[in-house]
Structure 1
């Protein structure tokens, strides 16, 4: 009698197939009766058509049912976000392998360069994005490690936006696109109505070099760096004044300080704190320089201009013992020089006699043809002896008057050797060059005085 397996003990088609294979001579090619030796195969044929409980999809057993069954270490199933699961193919993602025995080992971020990757730093780096592609501004992938602060992909822009709803990233991925409020004055698009273009808003924008909201020790109120002489008076930077020019003696010196506070500042020779100009300290804080006529008189052989300077230097030790002999110059001219070439012509202080009497203020006043007082006191403060004449050969402008200079002040001969002179009693041009052509010049055997000027502080 044929063997008929009860249906209740064969609930699964695989089990029936196994049984049919075990029974000798059984075939499963057709559902009809088959030669199974002494047994009928009709039961097994019926069993092989029941596949409703088979859930195996991508591998042996139950791998692929999205349930980690016994013997499996993972199972992503078939329907997963990447679209490829339980696979042995590279996609760049983490997923279970085809046998459900572990994760597929090749993925972006494992720091191992796969054939389909151009780089893999295990995340963002200076040269590689987290998706294993090279860093590129505009790819829509923000990579702070590469210096990107933003990346809007195709929306990156360098165009000025009048009123952006959402500020776009610039094309360098280093910040936002230009707009009002970005701290830069876009002069082609913005004016003072935009705070970026307003000095005093605390935002440095071209052409500003600074903007601290007000004048500070380093920034002027016009948003430029502090500079004496720019016309921006900045007390916060220590400027007492700033008249915007380079004239040192006009009340505001070139270091932006003023004279008259009683405290000598750098650049001041003195500061007596008063408004008396022709006293021991001028209103420009410059000390006066002394002038005298020598008590001694000399013939024309003075030893040249240098010899005459030495004679003034010797007498000057009496006029002011605190000054060196080299501080004095003789008011004398010849072929080698004149006061206009040898004196400090930039001096703007007072020339005074040894008793404080002012005779001129500065070089320009000294050479205008008239003195405030005659140079009629010696180094000792006394009147010079007669004749009250001084060798000179110098014009009122301080230039050489002519060729009558006792052979460059080296000769005391009587015959045909002459020199020009001035008179110590005059305040007009005669003080330096007597206008009486009948008397001036005269022979070099005469003994006359010398005018001596302090030429250094």
Structure 2
């Protein structure tokens, strides 16, 4: 046989004897080398291991696939079988033979060897972590910590959406995720007037954007313009002077202080009495009425007529005319009315008199009352016992006065001489007395319309 032709003469004598491979030899573990003849037996022992007794004698005996006398990892295994992948012996061309996950088809599995094997998902044989296959032979995925070019903008290897990388895309304002410590909010829209602005800052008064609950937002800290620091529209009464529009603004709706409710500085003639400064303010330019042009209360004069008249006065207006004529004749000037009441309430002084705020005085300067309220409270400060200056007094000592008027200025009743048009002795009227300062000055008694009496004249 050809295998025998390779034997040397020195070994020929061994072939005739019953030599066999000694499993206890130095080569039994799969190593290679020259056969150690020290342990070669002279007789073929009976084997119970399944190994042919003559295996290792360099002679191909029946039952042997090969017999090269080697006890190592050659083409022939120590049990005289052809060395094949998976027999547990490291044979020619094999890098391993242990049938594990790291050894497949007797080749050692190594990531980046370009061969996908074992538990590898991929193996592109390069050292790049930025392509579809990482150096760990795993398919590139978002979150593996490696930037996959062309697919990922970033990969920080963590599941957090609060940092600068979200689903392997760089965080930006408007992505709907709040970037911690960078963004105050992120509502994922481009609406600038909601709770989160387009620059991902929480809406706040002063950011220059009109947000929820704000009427305006000019982005400055001035309260002197049209938008206050509270992001409310400026208005008269807000307590801040709107430059170019308001002269003042004291934050209230009062008209009796230095700044009117319309944010105009108070002044004499504005129609509002400035407390502690003005005695009156009638808002007109007439100096001779109740309030002077200096906003001082004009005092009003009063006298009892020097002339005497029956009840036929020509009505209430006729009595007024008589007062005016007497005042003009005395050089008093002004507008005058008679203190009498006719047939209806509208004819009474309480309804038709201008009520003085500067007081009532006799022509000689004696004060009769502080004002209208003082005049009609039932008690005068002085009797109205002086006639118009320079008059020729008729009926000297006669103190009766036509009135039909109560102390409060209202009508006494229906005793009014037919509306002050009759001097009939059949009619009577209520009367007062210039001799008294209490209610009797206007409510003293009654007398007939035929009796002549005086009238009270009041400046308006």
Q: Provide TM-score, normalisation by structure 1.
A: 0.47
Structure number having the greater helix percentage: 1
Q: Provide TM-score, normalisation by structure 2.
A: 0.47
